[in-house]
Amino acid sequence: MPNRPIVGILGASGFIGNRLVEWLILSDLAMPRPIVRSFKGMARAARFDLDCRLADATDQVALEAQLRGCEVVFHCVVGGRETILRSVEAAYLAAASAGVRRLVYLSSAVVHGNNPAPGTHDDSKLIARQQFEYNVSKVKAEHLLRRLSADGAVEVVTLRPLIVYGPRSKWWTAQIASDLLSGKAYLIDGGTGVCNAVYVDNLVRAMWQAAIAQKAGTQAFIITDGEPVTWRDLYGAVAEVVGVNMANVPCIESAELARMYREQKHAQMKFAFGRFTLAMRNNLPTGVINIVRKILPSGAIKVISRQLETPPATTFPIIDPEIASLQQCRYLLPISKAQELLGYVPQVTFSEACRRTGEWLSFVSETGANRT
């Protein structure tokens, strides 16, 4: 493609950012400029002849220098709340100073909640008060970008995927495989909940379309594969590759979750208190320990010691409230707005995505290659 635009990619060492770099090169659509925090982050991109740059995504001055000459910048930075918010502000201000035309921000559909209400769409009001810090951070980041972009210096396009899976996916591919193999996996309500998933190649295609579509500026888009996939479908596809029988994966009723959370919290607190008491005992002066031994019967001392030193019996799996809430989703998020304004049409079906992901899982299992 002649006169390919130069595009900056923040977070190019991560799962999605790295795949975006690869996809743009292999599709001959643009000249990616990976911008990473350290030389280590250039490992995968280094196999291509690219103009890799070093800059901290939260450093506005450093970013401005590295973004000069870029027409578009993709923000794929991951991290905690501070990193999310600081990098968003730094990226926008740096892009404005560097003359960047458009910023494509990779947000998340969790801004609508892990279990969005039926009827939720791209322009629904964001849910500011949520249980999970990551969700709230993404909401705050979107609000911050709206305030910053009110000056019109840079067009901002926001994309909201939810469950991004595929080769090199840590959380929604490799971690599922690990949980299945270790007996830590579980399904809420038999895995019948809606999994608003998007295969990574479909997502990066949408990211490119968000960079070039004329009508996309200042808009936000929900991005999924558009297929009615359940959580059992996703876990089952991974289980087939790693050789786990889905009949052995525990199913937990959502009505039982509140009780299970209480029991888990009680067991964890008991164990934590026991370890604290044990540490205190090990550091008490000998004189104090001798006094306690004189007061308490020897049998009682032995029982207490065993309880302190033995972890409480736990019933696996340990339930993660965040994953459990995602699995309770009953609503397939719409992608009609992305189809209309971006021209987004998912190219890779769920069955084909599972085949490709399965080949990667088989490869890393056989070779011991880095899964992330």
Identify the domain containing residue 34 by its residue range: 6-167+196-227+330-345
Same domain (yes/no): 51, 144: yes
Q: What is the pLDDT of residue 1?
A: 45
Task: Answer yes or no: are the C-beta atoms of 114 and 322 closer than 8 Å.
Answer: yes
Q: What is the pLDDT of residue 371?
A: 44
Task: Answer yes or no: are the C-beta atoms of 89 and 148 closer than 8 Å.
Answer: yes
Same domain (yes/no): 341, 293: no
- Give a yes or no: residue 20 inside a domain: yes
Same domain (yes/no): 89, 209: yes
- Give a yes or no: residue 142 inside a domain: yes
Same domain (yes/no): 337, 283: no
In the predicted model, what is the mean pLDDT of residues 146-162?
98
Closest C-alpha to 184, from 315, 3, 45, 42: 315
Same domain (yes/no): 223, 276: no
More confident residue, 296 or 35: 35
Per-residue confidence band for 260, with pLDDT thresholds at 50, 70 and 90: confident
Whether 315 has a pLDDT exceeding 60, the answer reads no
Same domain (yes/no): 28, 76: yes
- Give a yes or no: residue 240 inside a domain: no
Query: What are the tens digits of pLDDT across the range 164-183?
Result: 999 999 999 999 999 999 99
Same domain (yes/no): 302, 334: no
- Give a yes or no: residue 135 inside a domain: yes
In the predicted model, what is the mean pLDDT of residues 311-339?
87
Dihedral, CA of residue 349, residue 350, residue 355 and residue 359, to nearest 10: 110
Q: Which of 31-40, 130-139, 285-294 has the highest mean pLDDT?
A: 130-139
H or E element, residue 251: strand 251-252
Q: What is the pLDDT of residue 372?
A: 44
For residue 215, the domain's CATH number is 3.40.50.720
Give the pair of three-digit tokens for residue 358.
């399965």
Q: What is the pLDDT of residue 43?
A: 76
In the predicted model, what is the mean pLDDT of residues 180-192?
97
- Give a yes or no: residue 357 inside a domain: no
Kindly report which listed range (21-35, 177-191, 247-261, 274-288) carries the lowest average pLDDT score: 274-288
Count of domains observed in the chain: 2
Q: What is the pLDDT of residue 286?
A: 67
Query: What are the tens digits of pLDDT across the range 78-106?
Result: 999 999 999 999 999 999 999 999 999 99
Enumerate the H helices of the chain as residue ranges.
Answer: 15-26, 60-67, 81-98, 133-148, 175-182, 200-212, 231-242, 257-283, 286-295, 298-309, 321-327, 336-341, 350-367
